[in-house]
Amino acid sequence: MTQNAARAEETSANLDSERLLPVLSLMWKIRLFEETAIEAQREGLVLGAIHPSIGQEAVAAGICPNLRQADLLLSTHRGHGHTLAKGADPLAMMMELFGRAEGTCGGKGGSMHIADFGVGMLGANGVVGANITIGVGAAHALKMRRSDDIAVCIFGDGAINRGPFLEGLNWARVYDLPVLFVCEDNGFSATTRTRTLTGGPGAVARAESLGLPAEEVDGNDVLGVDAAARTAIDAIRQGGGPRFLQCRTYRMTGHTAVDPATYRDAAEVEEWRAHCPIARLEGALRLAGVDEARMQQQRTEAEQYMQDVYARARDAEWPDPAQAFADVQDIGNPAERAY
């Protein structure tokens, strides 16, 4: 923590604002994408459950800009931010939430199954922890072909109590795989506080016990996440084997967009609101002398963009029902309507 704090200060002294304005822009993009989606869900346009990451944007925005497009990302049910940060098209994603033909997955997956292989995003996942072993396998393949691309696997604090956490991290260590594990620790496993369900000191200790260098950072401080991620990613890319990063953060919404989250009190939520990762980055940029108008511009542009995304997604075509029978399998794919 002290190490992080020091690094963060150092970073803030010589802030590279040209590199960070796009990060701010990305955070607004995530925030506004999800606010738009929540609003659209109220209107009945988003069809299934969505798990917003509002308040957690610094994790996605701190990690993914350090990745190449060819690096591979595996995410969770709460994956919009990661996916956007990896470079997926917001319009295609919104269309996916709306179940439309031109959605990222042709309307077949919805929020919990967004993937965009074109930008190295290998999928959200509806099963907690399942992305860990899949991510490990992707890293295994990268290593087999001597690529210096890496895999990143992001999961929640709840996932550290599932077996695949142990099996996957152990595997990554045994084969020295190029993979960064990120525990996006928002303190909750759905509606229950994770600490009441978790033995021992937590994710970092567990990762270390499995032989992985592990670090905890303030997950609402995008500069800190960025710095830690960069260090880790460089080391992994140079063949240093798997690493682990825990980012402590908080989700400002309920578990799903319709969860009123009555299991936590307003004071706690307000306290975290004061640590809003976007406001914090803006504060740092302000200190570094960045013009208020340029910052405002990031937000405004993102707002306009998402309005456009919303409108276009709303008007997009539904998938052809015949598509229900496509892409099941090559051998033994069922013929439409015949069963």
Ligand X SMILES: Cc1ncc(C[n+]2csc(CCOP(=O)(O)OP(=O)(O)O)c2C)c(N)n1
Which spans of this chain sit near ligand X (rule: CB under 6 A)?
A: 51, 76-78, 126-128, 155-159, 186, 188-190, 194, 255
| Site membership for other proteins, residue 90 (CB under 8 A) | no
Tokens of residue 339, six digits: 């069963």
Which residues inside 141-160 make contact with Mg ion, applying CB under 5 A? 156-158
Matching residue, tokens 């620790």? 185
H helices of the chain, in order, are: 2-13, 17-42, 57-63, 80-85, 90-97, 130-144, 163-174, 203-209, 222-235, 266-273, 277-287, 292-314
Strands 192-193 and 188-189: antiparallel
What is the C-alpha separation between 157 and 182, in angstroms, rounded?
A: 10
* Integer angstrom CA distances of residue 3 from 8, 215, 297: 9, 10, 33
Whether the Cβ atoms of residue 30 and residue 80 lie closer than 8 Å to each other: yes
**Which of 12, 170, 231, 297 contacts its own copies by CB under 8 A?**
170
Which residues inside 31-60 make contact with other proteins, applying CB under 8 A? 47-49
**Which of 186, 246, 256, 298 contacts Mg ion by CB under 5 A?**
186
SS3 category, 106: coil
**Which of 100, 206, 248, 255 contacts its own copies by CB under 8 A?**
206
Q: Which residues of 190-223 are buried (b: 16+ CB within 10 A; e: fewer)?
A: eeeebeeebeeebbbebbeebebbbbbbbbbbbb
Q: How many residues bind other proteins (CB under 8 A)?
A: 84
| Site membership for other proteins, residue 119 (CB under 8 A) | no
Q: At CA 131, angle to CA 221 and CA 215, rounded to 5?
A: 35
| Site membership for other proteins, residue 123 (CB under 8 A) | yes
**Which of 59, 132, 247, 257 contacts other proteins by CB under 8 A?**
132
**Which of 2, 14, 196, 329 contacts its own copies by CB under 8 A?**
196
CB of 83 to ligand X, least distance (A): 14
**Which of 30, 40, 183, 212 contacts its own copies by CB under 8 A?**
212
Strands 151-156 and 72-74: parallel
**Strand partners of residue 74:** 153
**Which of 172, 236, 278, 281 contacts its own copies by CB under 8 A?**
172
CB of 261 to other proteins, least distance (A): 10
| Site membership for its own copies, residue 313 (CB under 8 A) | no
Residues sharing a CB contact under 8 Å with residue 68, sequence separation 6 or more, in sequence order? 120, 149
The option from its own copies, Mg ion, other proteins, none interacting with 335 (CB < 5 to 8 A, set by class) reads other proteins
Whether the Cβ atoms of residue 217 and residue 247 lie closer than 8 Å to each other: yes
**Which of 162, 230, 264, 312 contacts other proteins by CB under 8 A?**
162
Cβ nearer to its own copies, comparing 162 with 275: 162
Q: Which stretch binds other proteins (CB under 8 A): 26-34, 105-113, 232-240, 275-283?
A: 105-113
CB of 75 to other proteins, least distance (A): 12
Contact residues toward its own copies (CB under 8 A) are 161-167, 169-174, 196-201, 205-206, 208-212
